[in-house]
Structure 1
Amino acid sequence: MSKADVFRALHHHRAPGDPLVLPGPWDAASARVFAEAGFPALATPSAGVAACLGYEDGQVPADEMFAAVARIVRAVDVPVSADVEGGYGIAPKELVERLLEVGAVGCNLEDSEGGVLKDPRVHADWLAQVREAAGDRLFVNARVDTFARGVADPEAAIERAALYVAAGADCVYPIGAPPEVLPLLRAGIQGPINVVAVPGQGPSPAELGARGATRITFGPGLQRRATRALREIAAGLRP
């Protein structure tokens, strides 16, 4: 079984309250920490990697992002999925080839650009091209940005999710969805659902799983928490 197959299998047949928890490494060292802690797979956050590379989120050149993902993949034995934002304007076939070259088993793909939601049918067609190029070699996590872009109606997310699942997405990611709407999203969306948890705040991963989340990621939350801890250490070093 390939790593991509292993990663895909981790998303299925999960009991309520037992979601797949995927920490987000931002470099090779953090990836090793998470792998050594026993997590079965990892998922890079674009914002966390950007901070590590000295960029604002969304400003990392594609070559640098792929190189960063390659270093993370090389550092661990567990499957690694990569957040490659909106695909950097790369054609679907080349995007898939580059992800496979760096050893990623999956990818996050956003449906907004410059803060504006994309036409969902156009985006679904693009996702279908990614799916066709990837076959079963990549797990495609289609991000749904409605909540993040100020569209509070869950039905808008459900409608986009349906288009993306029909296009071949393995999972949908309604980023920013309030925890209280997760049962409604679960009822209306086919297949796995990715939900963000905030370390130390809000519902726990288990609670989010009980509300309908299949998998839990943390965005840049873990990297930012580590940075805060480092600031405290640094402050203690001053005479």
Structure 2
Amino acid sequence: MPDPRVIEFHRLHEAGTFVMPNPWDLGSARILERLGFPALATTSAGFAWSIGKQDSRVALDEALGHLRALAAAVAVPLNADFQGGFADDPEIVAAHVEAAASTGVAGLSIEDSTGDAEHPLFEHALAVERVAAARAAIDRGGTGALLTARSEGYVVGHPDLDDTIRRLVAYAGAGADCLYAPRISSRDEVAAIVAAVAPKPVNLLVNAPFVTVEEAAALGVRRISVGGTLARAAWGGWLGAAREIAERGTFTAFQGLPDVESLLADG
């Protein structure tokens, strides 16, 4: 029997629009849960920064440990930013996905970027095979985790809407439950993707104030995430205060700060 959080995560994708913000550690996860968000998602970048690494430099065992810790810390569904599955080969991706799905997450995403600047996206057929392998791994493991397939063209400097749609449609056919093209920032492009993969739900990344939740809902978006942007906002405040001390010897940033103890208080 699937975890109740997995069942709830699937239900959230059936109708309406929900926001799934991205914590980067246990404290941010617990506070976001207490703010009333119905689901959360990890951020590979935010987690990497929290342990002093750049994005995509986190090891598989570190990522799995992070997923276990966050899934155990909150009662709401948690989606895993599982990058490219920490492998190129579909069979190895499948093994890693099965391990990730067993950590307590309610869903996970697999992306099609290679990390190779000259060939930034996996060739189409291989990319589809990787999604299909992830689907088979989840089904084999019996967790019921929701699978999101991401096409990274707009992230890696290949902002081709037709190719992005072609990939997302193929990923839907390979078994993805939700489709996602990060860095899309045109409402017309969002609407085109929603229409192309319907009735499958679409995740929209909002990392700049180009749309509201209400406007995204009107476009047919089912799920909104913010990636590493909340973590960047936190780093922005921290860096501003630290630089003021280092460069000016003043402490004016130490005003109007939140009572974090009360935010994390039991009950």
TM-score, normalized by length of structure 2? 0.82
Determine if the alignment matches structure 1 residue 198 to structure 2 residue 207: yes
Q: Is the 8 A contact 1:28 1:75 kept in 2?
A: yes
> 1:213: which partner in 2?
221
Q: Runs of at least 4 residues of structure 1 off by over 4 A? A: 235-239
Alignment partners' CA distance in 2, 1:220 and 1:159: 26
> 2:53: which partner in 1?
55
Deviates more, 1:121-130 or 1:54-63: 121-130
Secondary structure, in 3 states, of the residue corresponding to 1:113? coil
Alignment partners' CA distance in 1, 2:34 and 2:65: 22
How much does 1:92 deviate? 3.9
Alignment partners' CA distance in 1, 2:164 and 2:94: 27
Question: Structure 1 residues 179, 211: closer, same or farther in 2, change over 3 A?
Answer: farther
TM-score, normalized by length of structure 1? 0.91
Alignment partners' CA distance in 2, 1:52 and 1:209: 32
- 1:71-90 mapped onto 2 (5 Å cutoff): 71-89=69-87
How much does 1:233 deviate? 4.0
Select the residue among 7, 10, 16 that pairs with 1:8: 10
Task: Provide, for residues 58-106 of structure 1, a one-character-per-residue CA deviation record: whole Å limited to 9, x for no partner.
Answer: 1111111111121111211111111111111172442233213321111
Question: Structure 1 residues 63, 206: closer, same or farther in 2, change over 3 A?
Answer: same
Higher relative contact order (CA 8 A, sep 6+): 1
Q: Is the 8 A contact 2:101 2:108 kept in 1?
A: no
Q: Is the 8 A contact 1:197 1:205 kept in 2?
A: no
How much does 1:236 deviate? 6.3
Q: Is the 8 A contact 2:21 2:40 kept in 1?
A: yes
> 1:104: which partner in 2?
105
Task: Provide, for residues 34-63 of structure 1, a one-character-per-residue CA deviation record: whole Å limited to 9, x for no partner.
Answer: 000011110111111111111101111111
- 1:1-239 mapped onto 2 (5 Å cutoff): 2-14=4-16, 19-89=17-87, 91-114=92-115, 115=117, 116-135=120-139, 137-180=144-187, 181-190=189-198, 191-198=200-207, 201-234=209-242, 238-239=249-250
Q: Is the 8 A contact 2:85 2:97 kept in 1?
A: no
Task: Provide, for residues 210-237 of structure 1, a one-character-per-residue CA deviation record: whole Å limited to 9, x for no partner.
Answer: 2232111101000010111223444566
How much does 1:203 deviate? 1.3
Q: Which runs of 5+ in 2 are unaligned?
A: 251-267
Alignment partners' CA distance in 2, 1:231 and 1:178: 27
Q: Which runs of 5+ in 1 are unaligned?
A: none
Alignment partners' CA distance in 2, 1:122 and 1:236: 49
CA RMSD, Structure 1 to Structure 2 (Å): 1.8
Q: Is the 8 A contact 1:96 1:133 kept in 2?
A: yes
Instruction: State the identity as a percent.
Output: 31
Secondary structure, in 3 states, of the residue corresponding to 2:104? coil
